[in-house]
Structure 1
Amino acid sequence: MTQESAEVRAKSLKAIADPARLRLISMVAAYEDAEACVCDLQEPFGLSQTTVSHHFKVLVEAGILHREKRGTWAYFSLVPGALASVAPLLSSPTR
């Protein structure tokens, strides 16, 4: 694994290491068309809109979620293949 590859994967792992972010990823994936508005996810978490938005920002910066602004709301969807690069690290031994 190259240094650059390790840095990208570490950023992804750090982003998903938070329980709230793991739940957000799961909830976004479960929504119709695997897309959700921050306004739809604030209440289930019992967190403020700014806290939920912060978690989304971290996931977007890590390349796990895509953000699309529509009017006053932001909609989030999974970046295809984003979690595929870290999945092998979680399921197979390091050589």
Structure 2
Amino acid sequence: MQIKLLFSKNVFLAVKPFSALKESFREGYGKQKLIKDIIAGLTVGVIAIPLSMALAIASGVPPQHGLYTAIVAGIVIALTGGSRFNISG
């Protein structure tokens, strides 16, 4: 019964996938914002890749498992992200 409640339509509506993307396009998204987003993404990637590998090694698993976790978690957070003020990673 708990599993059925967890995956109900109400939970999906509360997550509001792509809400940050919709909000960005509504407010206007130009070339300058795209460049800033690319720089921010590269900066986060430079930090996240070695960090995820180090955490995997510290946990006693191969480093590639840390990379897989970082990639999957990044995709999930990007698709279900809340707002432009939300920092996840």
Provide TM-score, normalisation by structure 2: 0.31
Which one has a larger percent strand, Structure 1 or Structure 2? 1
Higher relative contact order (CA closer than 8 Å, sequence separation 6+): 2
Of the two, which has the highest radius of gyration? 2
Which one has a larger percent helix, Structure 1 or Structure 2? 2
